[in-house]
Structure 1
Amino acid sequence: MLNKSRGKLLGVLALFLVMVWYSIYREDSFYFPVQDNRTSCPLGEVERKAPQLIGNYSRAQPLFLQLRDYFWVKAPSLYELPYGTKGSEDALLRLLSITHYSLPDSIQRLNNAPVQGYEQDVGTRTTLRLFYPESAHFNPRAENNPDTLLVLVPFKPMDFLWMEAILNDKKRVRKGFWKQPPLIWDANPEQVRILNPYYMEVTAAKLLNLPMRQPRKVKQKPTTGLLAITLALHFCDLVHIAGFGYPDSAQGKQSIHYYEQITLKSMAASEHNVSREAVAIRRMLQLGLVKNLTYF
């Protein structure tokens, strides 16, 4: 089933728009110039160029985790979440028994941001929505299409427990989150997928050069935006990005999202290294791996 779906994915020029970060300010160190989106992208172009950026690049890894694979038995994971499943196998096994893993026929657009009220700028179609418990909307239908796949990005073991409790209507998990996730999450289990941590590992180790094992007090993790681009590079032949960039460091109060007031200053206390992410995206543009649709 997976190979069949993968074949469909590679047989089209999939348009993969990632609308995660948005800024109205242009700034030299984080300015990604627009490329002509009319330039053709031959089939397999991304796959041929990706190894220049991603060492040991491979399209063999499944996008979603599957119950039938029992990958931790065949090859036990070396890392804990978010880069592996070490120590979380039991909870994951229960969760995979009630979710699915099939792929859409083509990946057209992905984001983790609202579309209602912003359709003119971000469009109306969302094929995959990456989320984690703290970012989940209690009513997924409000911001998604009926067939949108809701893809859990697991950062910690509690994320599996939260999802299991929600889908099985068990006692809700309330502790272990930096922000209280929804206690009611009205989603169809058939639309839920669990992201393979392999792609978070690739994003961190290959694109950001982050160590997989870090001291607990100084941990750094990729943003879901950069993770989304990593997924696109592994499954699509044409990758367009929009909305990636940051305000000038002097603009500490300028929002970095179009839909909420999170500033660059507030990001300083986060676990994200925005400077490294900007360098990684610039490198993708230089190699022609992605095409940028927006100015900053």
Structure 2
Amino acid sequence: MLRVFLGWRRLRLLSRMCFAVCWRLPSCCAGTTSGHCSQLIWLRGAMGWHGMVTAEPLGRGREDGLVDPAELLPALPGPRGRTVTGDSRDESSGPRLMPLLLIKMINKSRGKILGVLALFLVMVWYSIYREDSFLKDANPIEHAAPLGLTGPFLLGSYTRDHPLFLQLKDYFWVKTPSLYELPYGTKGSEDILLRLLSITHYSLPESIQSLKCRRCAVVGNGHRLRNSSMGETINTYDVVIRLNNAPVHGYEQDVGSKTTMRLFYPESAHFDPRTENNPDTLLVLVPFKPMDFQWMEAILNDKKRVRKGFWKQPPLIWDANPERVRILNPYYMEVTAAKLLNLPMKQPRKVKQKPTTGLLAITLALHFCDLVHIAGFGYPDSANKKQTIHYYEQITLKSMAASEHNVSHEAVAIKRMLELGLVKNLTYF
């Protein structure tokens, strides 16, 4: 409403300026015929005292094609039967003569009027363009990137038809069986997954589902967030996606306090998710192996905990509301590996590489959101052995040496997305 009001006021101002230019034409007609100037000058006087009425038939003309007001006056009857002459004009002469002279002036000055009108339209367009440019610079999150144009070039068969979370109805009875094992499919894990999906949910909150334009911020765990003062900006997004066990309390000024979704796997789960999330936060399990399903089922059903099969001991107590738990569709892990990192779906056991949760979250956001901004992504230079990689702990890049993640390969993928305009970086990369 504010933009419409400001645009209307600007339109009125520009129209007055344009009318003022036309109004001053008689004072600048030194190069025109004296007859034409006399008509314009008299017309300005008539318009100043009277107004516009219905036009009458035009009277006699002069040799130069112009009509002198004095020649028209005798033919016009005055009020109460009086005759109006050139020497005795009464108050009724102005309204009768003005439309006749206006029509004649328009016929003779059509080029000038069209020129002024074109100038007026250009001024209106430029004014609106300047306002739009200012709004884009002042509040960039209101303007989404052209995802529909750039997405296919990077993600290949780009589609939003795949559901975000697994559910019994769509996954087991409607869609074809999965072709891959975890983490790129669910082949061989159907039985445990069937039991797990029967106690979890898959829906999105109505407040997010009903949005016409979803503005999303994917918050990484990188050191770049420390002392960034990005917290207030991050909280303004419709959807805020966080990763693993990255804390919020104590870092609100830099990372914000809003969490819409938190992606995690058992080894990265916080034993009390309520301390670092909002009450309505969706806790999204990213399954990398069948043991992840078993851990989740044991936790939610309070069964005997599973200890083997993890590279790091997951929490044995995980105080979460099952209604807030979701199981991420492995399709997004497949797209991240195949389209962004060019990884084969079947790899030798000794050379296995997997996408990080951060790159997976960006891929998920590109399918789910209309606008995607990222913050806290990027690792230190490989030569910098002392720089910490997270904003909340002191571990260095050395801890990533034995992982199954190729961070340099992922950095290239993120830079490519930035170059294409798929995402925008809120922190430096």
1:173 aligns with 2:306: yes
Aligned residue for 1:280? 413
Mapped partners of 2:360, 2:253: distance in 1: 25
Specify every segment of 5 or more residues in structure 2 that has no aligned partner in the other structure, as ranges.
Answer: 1-136, 209-237
The answer to whether the aligner puts 1:233 opposite 2:366 as a matched pair is yes
Q: Note the 1:166-205 alignment, pairs <5 A.
A: 166-205=299-338
Q: Which residue of 1 aligns with 2:198?
A: 97
**Residue 83, structure 1, aligned to residue 184, structure 2:** yes
* Equivalent of residue 148 in structure 1, options 259, 281, 286: 281
The total of aligned residue pairs comes to 262
Cα gap change, 1:57 to 1:37, in 2 (>3 Å): farther
Larger Rg: 2
- What corresponds to 2:165 in structure 1? 64
Q: How far, CA to CA, are the matches of 2:294 and 2:140 in structure 1?
A: 45
- Specify the code of the residue in structure 1 equivalent to 2:183: P
Per-residue deviation at 1:108?
1.2
Pick the aligned partner of 1:108 from 239, 251, 264.
239
CA offsets 1:36-61 (integer angstroms, 9 cap, x no match): 78446656721332111111000000
- 2:183 equivalent to 1:52: no
* CA RMSD of superposed structures (Å): 1.8
Q: In the alignment, what sits opposite 1:262?
A: 395
Match of 1:221 among 354, 365, 385: 354
Deviates more, 1:39-48 or 1:115-124: 39-48
**1:273 alignment partner AA:** N
Task: Tell me: CA distance 1:130–1:162, structure 2 relative to 1, closer, same or farther (3 Å).
Answer: same
Q: Report the TM-score, using the length of structure 2 for normalisation.
A: 0.59
Identity of aligned residues (%): 82
Higher mean C-alpha deviation, range 63-72 or range 238-247: 63-72
Would the alpha carbon gap of residues 109 and 37 (structure 1) be closer, same or farther in structure 2, given more than 3 Å must change?
farther
The residue type equivalent to 1:66 in the other structure is Q
Contact map agreement 1:78 1:84 (CA 8 A) in 2:
yes
Correspondence for 1:32: none
Matched position secondary structure for 1:217? helix
Contact persistence 1:152–1:193 (CA under 8 A):
yes
Q: Which amino acid aligns with 1:114?
A: P
TM-score by length of 1: 0.85
Tell me how far 1:221 sits from its aligned partner. 0.4
Deviation larger for 260-269 or 178-187: 260-269
Question: 3-state SS of the aligned residue for 1:239?
Answer: strand
Q: Partners in 1 of 2:320 and 2:143 — Cα distance?
A: 38
Return the letter of the residue paired with 2:196: L
Which 10-residue stretch deviates more, 98-107 or 224-233?
Answer: 98-107
Contact 2:265-2:285 at 8 Å conserved across structures:
yes
SS in 2 for 1:47: helix
Supply the AA of the counterpart residue of 1:272: H
Structure 1, unpaired ranges of 5+: 1-35
More helix by share: 2
- Residues 70-120 of structure 1 show CA distances to partners (whole Å, capped at 9, x for unaligned) of 347741111110000000000000000000000133251011221111100
Structure with the bigger RCO (C-alpha within 8 Å, sep 6+) is: 1
Say if 2:145 and 2:423, in contact at 8 Å, map to a contact too: no
Distance (Å, rounded) in 2 between the aligned partners of 1:232 and 1:38 = 20
SS of the equivalent of 1:229 reads helix
Q: Paired residue for 2:271?
A: 138
Q: Which residue of 1 aligns with 2:104?
A: none
Deviations 1:7-58 (A, max 9, x none): xxxxxxxxxxxxxxxxxxxxxxxxxxxxx78446656721332111111000
Distance 2:282 2:180 in 1: 26
Residue in 2 aligned with 1:161?
294
Query: Does structure 2 retain, via aligned residues, the 8 Å contact 1:72–1:89?
Result: no
* Runs of 4+ with deviation above 6 angstroms: none
Partner of residue 381, structure 2: 248
**In 1, Cα distance between equivalents of 2:140 and 2:278:** 29
Return the alpha-carbon distance in structure 1 between the equivalents of residues 330 and 199 of structure 2.
Answer: 19
CA distance in 2, matches of 1:71, 1:252: 48
For 1:271, the equivalent position in structure 2 comes to 404
Contact between 1:82 and 1:155, CA under 8 Å: does it hold in 2? Answer: yes
| Structure 1 residues 52 and 129: CA distance shift in structure 2, 3 A | same
Q: Counterpart in 2 of 1:4? A: none
* Paired residues of 1:252 and 1:264 also in contact (CA < 8 A): yes
Q: Work out the CA distance in 2 between the residues paired with 1:158 and 1:260.
A: 27
Inter-CA distance 198–97: structure 2 relative to 1 (3 Å threshold): same
Q: Please state whether the residue corresponding to 2:241 is helix, strand or coil.
A: strand
The alpha-carbon distance between structure 1 residues 37 and 55, as it changes in their structure 2 partners (threshold 3 A), is farther
Task: Flag the 1:40–1:192 CA change in 2: closer, same or farther, 3 A.
Answer: closer
